[in-house]
Amino acid sequence: MAVVLVAGCSTRPAEVSDAEMQLPPYPVAGRLVEFEKGHSNDFRFFIDPASLSVDKDGVVRYVLVARSATGSENVTYEALRCETAEHRIYAFGHADGTWSRSRTEWRPLQPQSAQARQLVLYADYFCPQKVPMQNTAEGVRALQEGGHPFAKGFAAPGAVNNR
């Protein structure tokens, strides 16, 4: 009985599971910020700045909207893990403004893959030189200015340029 009581008195907070993670509100077209994805094709890419966040572990979360030339959209709630250069999709958006949770796990970002937009977000906007953005305002500013200053050749304090 004493073992059960001791285990039950732990002060360590429980981690939030993916199923318990609160999904952001569906993006509003008027507030989306377009970013340069580095490869020309038939899609334009946008981030919902209201969904952009970074946690204490350097995980950047955001809603990505990919819009085709014909107007169809793909909406995803995604994350980048800056320290390890990994990507994950948490949910897929539907035209009716609802979300379906994804079952994908963290995956390494790979050059020469279908992850070109995530690689651009990682290296040029949210995790330049593997250093996560400090806060939402910094990430939004990077989107508005076409890239993070540290990705444009300015070194981050204490960072080593691995590009």
The pLDDT value given to residue 23 = 96
Greatest pairwise CA separation for the chain in angstroms: 65
The pLDDT value given to residue 114 = 64
The pLDDT value given to residue 36 = 77
Residue 130 has, within 13 A of its CA and on its CB side, a CA count of: 11
Torsion of CA 90, 23, 21, 74, to 10 degrees: 0
The pLDDT value given to residue 153 = 64
The pLDDT value given to residue 8 = 42
The pLDDT value given to residue 145 = 92
Please list, in sequence order, all residues whose beta carbon lies within 8 angstroms of the beta carbon of residue 53, skipping any fewer than 6 positions away. Answer: 60, 61, 62, 136
- State whether the Cα torsion 131-136-137-140 is positive or negative: positive
In this structure, what DSSP letter does residue 137 have?
H
Structural domains in the chain, CATH included, are: 29-147 (2.40.128)
Residue type, 46: F
Contact (Cβ atoms closer than 8 angstroms) between residue 46 and residue 35? yes
Stretches where the chain sits below pLDDT 50 are 1-15, 155-163
The pLDDT value given to residue 18 = 62
Of 109, 104, 103, the residue nearest 84 (C-alpha): 109
Distances in Å between the Cα of 51 and the Cα atoms of 14, 26, 131, 156 are 24, 9, 20, 25
The pLDDT value given to residue 110 = 84
Note the pTM of the prediction, 2 decimals: 0.80
Give tens-digit pLDDT for 97-135.
Answer: 999 999 999 999 987 666 788 999 999 999 998 999 999
Q: How many residues does the chain have?
A: 163
Q: Which two tokens stand for residue 49?
A: 């700045």
